Amino acid sequence: MEIKEEKKGAVVVVRPIGPLTRNDVSTFKSCLMRIRSDSMGRFILDASSIAYVDSTGLEVMLEVNDELSQAGQILKLCSLNETVREVLDLTELANFFECYEDVGSAVRSFL
């Protein structure tokens, strides 16, 4: 998995490329926690290039969300592709995250 980062003003957009599976979760979580610290929690997970998510990938997303919620924040997802949206809907986890149609609307949510 490759993880790209892009700044949009004061918000960091994180875009993982490839599947989010057991093999990648430690790198993924470390990256998100580093970005969380550097951006004071002002970051978005652009899910457009995540090929699929397995149970450990979902678990890490929930762990990151739990850590953010302790600081009064929430993990914001955007550009969910059909596969990721279906996984979140089938597992009934979509309501645990703030989901946005695109990067622009997710960035504006911080204003």
Query: Is residue 109 situated within a structural domain?
Result: no
Query: Is residue 32 situated within a structural domain?
Result: yes
Query: Is residue 110 situated within a structural domain?
Result: no
3-class secondary structure, 65: helix
Query: Is residue 81 situated within a structural domain?
Result: yes
Does an H or E element contain 53, and which? strand 50-53
| CA angle (65 as vertex; 100, 11 as ends), nearest 5 | 55
Nearest to 46 by CA among 93, 10, 92, 4: 4
Q: Give the position of tokens 């090929």.
A: 51
Query: Is residue 41 situated within a structural domain?
Result: yes
Query: Is residue 106 situated within a structural domain?
Result: no
Query: Is residue 56 situated within a structural domain?
Result: yes
> What does the pLDDT read at residue 2?
95
Summarize pLDDT for 32-56 with one digit per residue, the tens: 999 998 898 899 999 999 999 999 9
> What does the pLDDT read at residue 96?
93
pLDDT-based confidence at residue 24 (cuts at 50, 70, 90): very high
pLDDT-based confidence at residue 58 (cuts at 50, 70, 90): very high
Number of domain units in the chain: 1
Query: Is residue 105 situated within a structural domain?
Result: no
- Could you count the other beta carbons within 10 Å of the beta carbon of residue 84? 25
> What does the pLDDT read at residue 33?
92
CB 68, CB 74: distance < 8 Å: yes
pLDDT-based confidence at residue 11 (cuts at 50, 70, 90): very high
CATH number at residue 21: 3.30.750.24
> What does the pLDDT read at residue 5?
97
Domain boundaries, position 65: 2-100
